[in-house]
Amino acid sequence: MEKFYIVTNDGKDPDYIVTNHVREVLESAGKLCYMSKKDEEKRIIKETIPKEMDCAIVIGGDGSLIEVARALHEKDVPVLGINMGTLGYLTEVELKNIDEALSQVMADDYVLESRMMLEGVRADGSRDVALNDIVVARKSVLRIIHFKLFVNGELLNAYEADGIIISTPTGSTAYNLSAGGPIVEPTASLIVITPICSHALNTSSIVLSAEDEIVIEIGMGRNGTTEEVLATFDGADGVTLRTGDSITIRRSHAVTKIMKLSRMSFLEILRRKMKGN
């Protein structure tokens, strides 16, 4: 690997102490480093992303890595996360191990894990992708929303709930887990549907094939009012949907390739992150 794209969460590394160290280590080994550029809202300016790179290094937490994965989903490059957050399911490298980790990367001593992504498409053809989840939930007003969920053109269920989470295996330990959904091995190929505070006796999650196509259709509000909800992608970019609108969710052709340097299994990582024995 010769060309590295470094993306820093300014809130996690405000003085760029870690970032500059990473850059110095790589450049001292003769590598080329591109530093990410962001707008006033601290979002990556997509037009400034280098056309050629061998690896993206993310300095921050899981949220930062997810942002980079979405921004680079068409690039097909591996992503390495340096953890400056808390749990760090995706950002594997701890601060004390940075030099060792960079040496491994430069020596090609790593394994790539392919993580499936989701694609959400609206009726007008606009689309976006998510590594963790696509969530359809109420927009500001504290009331339940009404929607129907179709799988491969067949009605699965009609819901009255605060919303619904369509999750990848990677996202199973995020919002899905908080809403009572199952934990899934992250490299699996499947889709998890978990209602949020459903007003029904059956609130169980549903696990589907990764090849299934899901359509969420927004229904009428109480007393025939127009419902207005928000569909968000990895908790970031959101689009407004109203009564009669729908969003189609399917497996994306893009995948996120996460660099794994340790031989620690998912179960061991899970046990440590969940503070088990």
Q: Could you list the active site residues?
A: 62
Pairwise CA distance, residues 190 & 205, whole Å? 13
What does the CA dihedral 227, 233, 237, 238 come to, rounded to 10 degrees?
Answer: 0
Contacts (Cβ under 8 Å, ≥6 apart) of 49: 5, 36, 71, 72, 75
DSSP-derived secondary structure letter, 116: E
Q: If DSSP codes are grouped into helix, strand and coil, which group holds residue 168? A: coil
Pairwise CA distance, residues 203 & 216, whole Å? 17
Phi, psi dihedrals of residue 103, rounded to the nearest 5° = -65, -40
What does the CA dihedral 127, 128, 133, 137 come to, rounded to 10 degrees?
Answer: -60
Q: Compute how many other C-beta atoms are within 10 angstroms of the C-beta atom of residue 245.
A: 19
Query: E-assigned strands of 61-125?
Result: 78-83, 111-122
- Give the angle 82-38-16 at the CA atoms, nearest 5°: 45
Residue reference for tokens 């605060």: 162
Q: Compute how many other C-beta atoms are within 10 angstroms of the C-beta atom of residue 212.
A: 15
β-pair type (228-233, 133-138): antiparallel
Residue reference for tokens 């109203």: 242
